[in-house]
Amino acid sequence: MKILHVEGGAELYGGAKQVLYLLEGLAAQGIENHLACRSGCDLARQAAPFAAVHGMAMRGDLDFGLIGRLGRLMDACSPDLVHLHSRIGADVMGGIAARRRGLPVVHTRRVDNPEPRWLVAWKYRLHDRVVAISEGIARVLRAEGLPEHKLRVVRSAVAASRYDGPRDPMHCRDELDLAADTPAIGVIAQLIERKGHQVLLDALPRLLAVHPRLAVFFFGKGPLAGALQEQIDDRGLAARVRLMGFREDLAGLLSCLDIVVHPALMEGLGVSLLQAAAAGVPIVASAVGGIPEAVQDGVNGRLVPPGDPARLAAAVHELLRDPALRTRLGAGGRRLVRESFSVEGMVNGNLAVYRELL
């Protein structure tokens, strides 16, 4: 079986990380992978042992030239099936190129952003199957009119062994310049509006009144970095809140955190939540989209209404004051990831969709 994968993401996290897991798992089962991605990106370098990598320009949703570039690649490598992993133009342009050649097409939907019914009716004609990475996304697609026979759910995964090994908390606290008794929470998400960083900033006065030494870390990059830093400075929070950017050593830093907070306003699933759970870090998150599949209230964290700073602060405070509860929820997270979000399960789920079409 020969599969052409198309991923337009520029950074190796979120969806692109899932593509890397999938390529490695498929290669181990004897599948021949080809990958079309942005020239020189991190995914291209790391995927090379598991796929024939074809770097090319990918300029976004209106890059009509991508139809021709992907079409020529399809002609050259003659795949049995095309798997479109991202939006950013690949879902439509890749679908058109594959349809012109009579190739089966799978599209993975990773976000729960609503789309108009007319667009759903038109766009998903290009795809034989649409794989939702969570039941939350599947509900959105059903509500928008996607035919049930096209829809499959294959949850995203995390390589748990990378996050649940023994850690040296004092070493990572040195990395973050944290005293041993300083409580620390972190948000691991792109710096974009729908991730809800603003909600946590609004909740901080309540938290700092009870936990004045609390340290907050925002891990991730994005267009709101400047605006968030300005708010942090204007509110006098610079000593308590730090923007950390994208960290390759995140797996080692998670053990520094007492809680991972995810105050998202919209979320398809949240791979960073799976990483935190695998590392045994309890989570406080919004009950939106697919998050309740990754964070089960009372099992590995607490769920709160989206956009509610008071409820968010109360849940974080509950966990900060109760080390035994954090330990129990951390252990629950490790179990949840092993049972429901394994890489093996994700790989086999996608492979079952391929076999269904072929």
Taking 80 as the threshold, does the pLDDT of residue 87 lie above it?
no
Residue 167, pLDDT score: 64
**Interaxial angle between packed helices 309-320 and 323-340, expressed in degrees from 0 to 180 and rounded to the nearest 10:** 100
Strand ranges across the sheet with 241-245 = 241-245, 215-219, 184-188, 259-262, 283-286, 301-304
Q: What is the CATH number of domain 161-340?
A: 3.40.50.2000
What integer is the mean pLDDT of 191-205? 97
Q: What is the pLDDT of residues 202-246, one digit of tens each?
A: 999 999 999 999 999 999 999 999 999 999 999 999 999 999 998
The tokens describing 313, both together, are: 């602060």
Quickly state the pLDDT bin for 316 (edges 50, 70, 90): very high
Q: Flag the least confident range among 110-114, 134-138, 332-336.
A: 110-114
Q: Which of 119, 111, 121, 36 is nearest to 77 (CA)?
A: 36
Q: Which of 181, 170, 203, 167 is nearest to 284 (CA)?
A: 203
What integer is the mean pLDDT of 161-181? 77
Taking 70 as the threshold, does the pLDDT of residue 1 lie above it?
yes
Q: What is the pLDDT of residues 241-260, one digit of tens each?
A: 999 998 988 888 998 899 99
Taking 70 as the threshold, does the pLDDT of residue 169 lie above it?
no
Residue 33, pLDDT score: 98
Residue 157, pLDDT score: 95
What integer is the mean pLDDT of 74-83? 98
Contacts of 119 (CB under 8 A, 6+ apart): none
Q: Please report, rounded to a whole number, the percentage of residues in the chain having pLDDT higher than 70.
A: 98
Taking 80 as the threshold, does the pLDDT of residue 88 lie above it?
no
Q: Fold identical between 2-157+342-357 and 161-340?
A: yes
Domain positions in the chain are 2-157+342-357, 161-340
Residue 127, pLDDT score: 97
Q: What is the mean pLDDT of the chain?
A: 94
In whole angstroms, give the CA distance from residue 203 to residue 346. Answer: 36
Residue 287, pLDDT score: 97
Q: What is the pLDDT of residues 270-309, one digit of tens each?
A: 999 999 999 999 999 999 999 999 999 999 999 999 999 9
Domain 2-157+342-357 fold is Rossmann fold (3.40.50)
Residue 92, pLDDT score: 94
